Every structure is written in structure tokens, then in C-alpha cells.
Structure 1
Amino acid sequence: MQVSFWVRRAHKWIGLIVGVQALLWMISGLYMVVVPLDVVHGDHLAHVFPEPLKPGAPRVAQATLNQLYPGITSVRLKTMLGKEVYEIRQGAAASVVDAASGVKLSPLERDTIKALAEESHVGEGDISGIEWVTKAPSEVGARPVPLWAVHYDEAGDTTLYFSPHTGDLVARRHNLWRIFDFVWMLHIMDYDTRDNVNNTLLRIATITGFAFALSGAWLLLYSFTRRKRA
């Protein structure tokens, strides 16, 4: 009798603690199921369609590039705003140079980023501001700074982030993504970096939930045993 009393009391308090987190799991899980990932990622807000390369266009030779920019580890030919450029990497550093002249274009200026944003953005709003970001906001995670942030005056408060070194669109952010990021934090119980799915709080919640299930199963079996005796 004494054992059942303490198991019932433990079950009640564990249920109260686990119940709050279980409610958060259900609410956050519902949001993540209802809102498609493509929408969360902002694929509907900006598209990047690589332009075809121009056959026979004048280009700086690879040997010349190596002389102009020693220590090149990789080279990629691409188009940017209708112009052919080389994206070169020297270790961890990346930059773009004019494919015809070999002149370095990085870091890209504000007007170039504005043109890239207007080319890729497919939303309904207009640009409300372009910001040079030197301290990465939490919504871009571990992406290296500096970045260009292009803000749009539209319902979802869209922000497109571009690399000043390569001109690449590195992140699309809007309110549905920001809500997803918040509920994801609640779901995995990582209130710091929001990316650790094996954190201590989640382990404690899992163990506590398991204890809740065990105590409930014991009480259920105990009630059946009691009825048989009666």
C-alpha cells in the first residue's frame, strides 16, 4: 500500500513536468508538419538560375590566374549579372575575378548586391534597405561574415543574405522561417545554439518521460491485481 502511494504521487508530479514539455512538443511538431519545408526555406521568395556560359568568350588563362593570385586551390567559371567571372579559392578565402580581364571584383559593392538581389527575388515587396553585416545574426547560424543583408518591405519581412566574396545567395529568411526556428528550439530543447539534438535537457526529458510511462504501467498492473483480489 505504501509503495502504491509513492508511485502514484511520483507519477502525478512527473506527469505535470513532462506534460508541459509534451504540449510544447505537440505544438512545435504541428507547426513543422503543417508548414512545408520548401516554404520555410524560402524557396518561393528567391530563385537562382545559373546563366549559360558563352562559347568563345575571351577568358584569362589558368596559368595567368595562378600568376595573378598565387596559392589558388580551386577555380570555377560562372556567370554573374550577365558577365563571366572566375570564382577562385585560396585556401579558405574566396573571391570572384573578371574572366576576361582577371581583375578582382571582390568584395562586391552595394550596387552589385542590389542588382543580384533584384535578379533573384520573386516576392512582391521592394527593397527597404541593404545592410553590411559584420556580426552574424542568429538567423544565419555559422555562416562566415561579413555578409550583405538585403531587406524587403513585404508581409514576411524577407531578408536575403549574400556573400560579398562570391556573390552567392547564402540564406533566405522570413517570418515563417523565424517561427520555425523558435519552435524547433522548443522541440529539441536547445535554448542556446538551437542545433544540438543530443543536449542534456532533452536527455533529462526523455528519461523523465520514460519514468512517467513506467510508473503509469506499474499503476495499471497494480489496479488490475487489486481488482482480482477484491
Structure 2
Amino acid sequence: MKKAEFRRKIRKTHRWMGVILGIQFLFWTVGGLYFSWSNMDEVHGDHQKAHIHPIGSDIKLVNPQDIIQKIKLKDTVNYIFDIRLIQLLSEPVYQIFYSKEHDRGKKVQLAYATSGELRSPLTKKEATEVAQQNFSDDAKVKNIEYLTTTNGHHEYRESPLPAYAVTFDHPSNTTVYVSSELGTVQKFRNNKWRVFDFLWMLHTMDYQSRDNISNWLLRAFSIFGLLTISTGFILFFVSQRKSKII
């Protein structure tokens, strides 16, 4: 192949590779600009989280072992994974995580920490009250949705279910997600987070679950980028003309 023909093919290949890769580079750049210029506390809704007064140290708590015995009356308890003390609508409540089998079927039981009485998962009304108590701004509730399933693109993906999605009539369009079985707020999602999440999907090139940075499409484009740079270097050198000797 003649040098001129080889140079022409390299130039054409580099041009088309540059156009294809350039689109993704544009996504990466726009995403990077948004990420670097965004206040992550605002993206995560931290500034909208209300301060909840902690439980006083003089409180008298029931022995968790007594509650475990009550759970055994209605269910099989072979393993205890965790016991946590939370505040649910100004009441101290135990979260007791247990299971019948060691490696699967983990369950959670809520119980009032002062009386030892077992309690049911949150109702719609209780979940709404929890969301309102944890949302710092004075806004009305616009919509309430009960979630039992989510997909890879849902803003509450890979989080405890079932849950109530309580959306407020607020300029940020914030939704507070409350786990009915855990009795606690899991996520704050607002418009800034949604833009961030969309750009993050373009950044990682994970169009299924959005968070996998080891997907094959991203790996392929990384190799594609190296090839594009390589053709650029080749084009640079083959395009050089030899200096005339005087």
C-alpha cells in the first residue's frame, strides 16, 4: 500500500473514531462539570434533613432478650444479626434483625423499647408522619406511593422494601423514602440528585443499573479511546514531511 493511501485511510479512520468517541467525551465532560460544581450535601438532600432530638440517657429500656422471647412465640428465631435502638415518632424503638437460617431469610421486628411490646410495620399515615418529621422545610405532602418492587433505574433502587415514597410540594420536588419494616427514613431524593443520577448513568455507561463502573461497554470505550489516540499519533508521524537537506 502506498504511503499516501495508507495516510488517507488512517485519517478517515481517525476522523470517524473521533466523532463516535467525541460524543461520549462530551457526556463525560458535561457530567464531570456538573459533579465538580455541585454541592453534594444538596444533591443528597442533607440540608433538608431535620434535626431530631436524641433520646435522653435517663430512659428505662426493656431487656432485648425479653423481646426476642416474644418473637419466638410467633416465629422461628435461630440467629440474631443485629439489635438497634431508633427513634420512631418520638418513641424509642428496637429494631431486631433475626432469621431462621444463617445465610438467608433475614427479618426485622420492631418493638417499643420501654414496654417491650411488638409493633407492626408502619402504616401509610405513620410513614407520612415520619417523612414530615424528618423533612426540615414546611411543605405539604403532594403524593404518597407504596413501593414493593423497583428496577435498576428507579431512584430508590437497591434499598429496603417495602417502602413509602412521600413526595412534598416543594421547589426541589423532594421525595422522602421511608421503610415500613425498618421504621426509618432511607433516602432523600430531589431534582438535583435526579440530574446527577442521569449524568452518572451517562458517565459510567451503565444503562441497566446505572452504578456498575465495571460494565463491558465502558471497558470497550476505554479501549476504543486508546485506539483513537493511537491512530492520531500514527497520523501525526506519517503526515510529517522530511526536511530538505540544503
- Same fold by TM (over 0.5)? yes
CA distance in 2, matches of 1:152, 1:82: 22
Gapped regions of structure 1 (runs ≥ 5):
none
CA distance in 2, matches of 1:143, 1:78: 18
Is this contact kept in 2: 1:135–1:145, CA < 8 A? yes
Runs of 4+ in 1 over 3 A off after TM superposition: 47-50
After superposition, residues 28-177 of structure 1 pair within 5 angstroms as 28-47=31-50, 49=52, 51-57=54-60, 59-70=61-72, 71=77, 73=80, 74-91=82-99, 92-136=106-150, 138-177=154-193
Q: Deviations over 1:140-163 (max 9, x none)?
A: 111132101111001121100011
Q: Tell me the residue number matched to 1:218.
A: 234
Deviation, structure 1 residue 115: 2.1
- Secondary structure of 2:118's match? coil
C-alpha RMSD of matched pairs (Å)? 1.9
Q: Deviations over 1:110-143 (max 9, x none)?
A: 2222221221101342211322212226111111
Question: What one-letter code is carried by the residue in structure 1 that aligns with 2:85?
Answer: L
Q: Which moved more, 1:90-99 or 1:40-49?
A: 40-49
Q: 1:136 to 1:104 in 2, by over 3 A?
A: farther
TM (norm. structure 1) is 0.91
Question: What one-letter code is carried by the residue in structure 2 that aligns with 1:155?
Answer: P
Q: 1:229 to 1:15 in 2, by over 3 A?
A: farther
Q: Tell me the residue number matched to 1:4.
A: 7
Q: 1:228 to 1:151 in 2, by over 3 A?
A: same
Q: Tell me the residue number matched to 2:211.
A: 195
TM (norm. structure 2) is 0.85
Question: What one-letter code is carried by the residue in structure 1 that aligns with 2:243?
Answer: K
Deviation, structure 1 residue 170: 0.5
CA distance in 1, matches of 2:159, 2:66: 31
Q: 1:63 to 1:215 in 2, by over 3 A?
A: closer
Is this contact kept in 1: 2:67–2:118, CA < 8 A? no
Is this contact kept in 2: 1:136–1:146, CA < 8 A? no
Question: What one-letter code is carried by the residue in structure 1 that aligns with 2:86?
Answer: K
Q: Tell me the residue number matched to 2:102.
A: none
Is this contact kept in 1: 2:94–2:110, CA < 8 A? yes
Q: 1:223 to 1:95 in 2, by over 3 A?
A: same
Is this contact kept in 1: 2:7–2:239, CA < 8 A? no
Q: 1:38 to 1:56 in 2, by over 3 A?
A: closer
Structure having the larger proportion of residues in helix: 1
Q: 1:141 to 1:229 in 2, by over 3 A?
A: farther
CA distance in 2, matches of 1:219, 1:124: 62
Is this contact kept in 2: 1:50–1:79, CA < 8 A? no
Query: Which of 193, 202, 208 matches 2:224?
Result: 208
Sequence identity of aligned pairs in percent? 32
